[in-house]
Every structure is written in structure tokens, then in C-alpha cells.
Amino acid sequence: MNNKFRSDNRVGWLMAAPALTGLALFIGLPFLLALILSFTNLKLASPLPLTFVGLQHYARIIQDPVFLRALLNNLIFAVVVVPAQTGCALLLALLVNRKLPGMVVFRTLFFLPVIFPFALISVVWMLLYAPGPNGVINSVLELLTFGIWEPQDFLHNQFLALPAIMVVSIWQGAGFQMIVYLAGLQDISEELYEAARLDGANSWQQFWHVTFPCLRNTTLFVVSVTTILSFRLFDQVQIMTKGGPLNATATVVFEAVRAAFERQQIARGSAMTVVFFIIVLCLTIFQRRLVREDRRVG
């Protein structure tokens, strides 16, 4: 036994070493760096000597209206997109979870956007959102409302820009979670439905009393992933709106990248990064706690 442990010790370290080194160098180190740099005056390629400025950058960003707006945008985005995307995914999963001919085709179609990079999707949707009566979405809406719809410049309207990005994000992301739900649905044993039917439950009651409770864990998973994803929002903003109009689509990550990359303000960008991490951490802890309580109750 002692011998086995010694050999396990060597081989174990050997097998884990490449991955652990990678994680330490490319997650651990930059993460520490973010903490340290956020207390300095560092600018990219600046010839000035490095000095420590304490909490200055944090004090500034929490007073910066644009950064606060970015935080708010992330929050609004999460509040709308999380339920909408989760609902969409569940609905799609229920739709295609049937033994009808052609379901594979439908499933494929709903899933298709997932394999499109956001960079491409953003470019395509920019065109769909084209302003004026010739824009595809404008003309569809005009057609559907019998001409009542006034053509809008979606991406340059401070009330429509963020919703426009939300639609794109939901459209791209729902297919992925549809599959997660499908797996959950297929795990539900048919006996439960039979029992429910014997009790005289109609299909709505079956959904409410059998399907939905059985999907609780799946739903918790989907919700937590989508919440964190919505705080990571960047690609669509960078390509479609550059944070405009009137910062209506600025996000925390976008602001951090703008500071660090466009204005060379590495220290300020790092401080934003740290704030971003704290938010994600809080969300995760909050959700874990929720899940635990839920399990205790259930």
C-alpha cells in the first residue's frame, strides 16, 4: 500500500502537471496580475516609472457614469435575457421532443445558430437591422402591422439598441440550451406520465406537475450559465454598436477592453476586470446557495 501510494504520488503529479501548469500560468497568474496592476498607474508602452496609486482607479470607476451605465446594462440584459432565453429553450425542447416525422430536421434548424460565431452573427444582424423602410426587419414589421410600423434605426436608437442585441443573443444561444433541456426531458421516466394520466391529469397538468419539477436541476443549470454569459457580453457590442448610442449598450467587459486596448490604460482596465470578477463571484455564490437550499427543501 505504501509502495502504491508513492508510485501514485509521482504518476499523479506527472499526469496533472501539464494542466495545472497551464491553469496557473494562464488563469492564476493573470488574475493576480489584474489585482496588482489595478493599484498602479500602468499604461501600455508608457515610459513613465511604475507607481502605486492605491484605490484610485476603483474610486474613479464607481463614480464614472459610463461604467455605472455599463453595469446597469449588464443587469438589464441579464434580467431580460435569462428568463427569455431559458423559456425559449424549454419551449423549443418541448416542441421537438416528439416522435413525429421530420423532428430531426427541426431540431437541427433550431440548433444551427449555435455553430455560428457571434462575430458573424453580429455582422449579419447588422444588415437585418438596417434602418429605413428597406431594412429587412423594418419591412417585415411594416408588412405585419399593415404599414403602421415606422421604420427605425434599431442600432442607433437608445431604447432599441440593447433590445436588438438581446434578440440576437437569445436567437444564437437558445439552441444550445434546447439540447440541454432535451437531455433533461429524455431522462424523465415514462412511468411518471402514466401515473399522472391514471390520475386524470391533462397535458398542461402533466407538464406542470411532472415535467417541470423533474427539470428543476436542468433549469437551475441553464439559468446560472445564462446569467454569467450575460455578464460576459462583448462580441455583439464591439461589432454592432461600439457601446453606443449614448452608452445604451456599453458593458463592463466592453469598457474594460476600451480602456486597456484603445486608450492603453491597463491599470484602469484591470480594475474594471476585478470588479467584473467580483460580480461573477457573487452571482455564483448566490446561485450555489439557492441550489443548496432548494435541495434541502426538495
CA distance 167 to 164: 5
Q: How far is the CB of 296 from other proteins (least distance, A)?
A: 19
**Residue 201 CB, nearest distance to other proteins (Å)?**
18
Could you say whether residue 140 binds other proteins (CB under 8 A)?
A: yes
CB of 198 to other proteins, least distance (A): 22
- Could you say which of 61, 71, 135, 227 contacts other proteins (CB under 8 A)? 135
Q: Which is nearer to other proteins, 175 or 196 (CB)?
A: 175
Q: Which of 16, 59, 79, 195 is in the footprint of other proteins by CB under 8 A?
A: 16
Tell which residue, 287, 290, 263, has the closest CA to residue 42.
Answer: 263
Give the residue carrying C-alpha cell 427569455: 84
Site map (CB under 8 A) of other proteins, residues 161-180, x = contact: ----------x----x--xx
- In the chain, the N- to C-terminal Cα span, in Å, equals 42
Of residues 109 through 128, those in contact with other proteins by CB under 8 A are: 109-128
Is the CB of 123 or the CB of 195 nearer to other proteins? 123
CB of 59 to other proteins, least distance (A): 12
The reply to whether 249 sits near other proteins by the rule CB under 8 A is no
Quick one: which of 202, 281, 289, 293 contacts other proteins (CB under 8 A)?
A: 281
**Which positions from 50 through 109 interact with other proteins, judged by CB under 8 A?**
60, 65-66, 92, 95-96, 98, 100, 102, 105-109
List the interface residues with other proteins, window 17-56 (CB under 8 A).
Answer: 18-23, 25-31, 33-34, 37, 41-48
Does position 242 bind other proteins by CB under 8 A?
A: yes
- For the purposes of burial, counting CB atoms within 10 Å of the CB of 236, is it exposed (0-12), middle (13-18) or buried (19 or more)? buried
CA 263 to chain centre: 26
**Residue from 69, 65, 119 nearest 239 by CA:** 119
Show the site string, 192-211: x = touches other proteins by CB under 8 A, - = not. --------------------
Q: Report how many residues bind other proteins under the rule CB under 8 A.
A: 130
Q: How far is the CB of 166 from other proteins (least distance, A)?
A: 15
CB of 70 within 8 A of CB of 255? yes
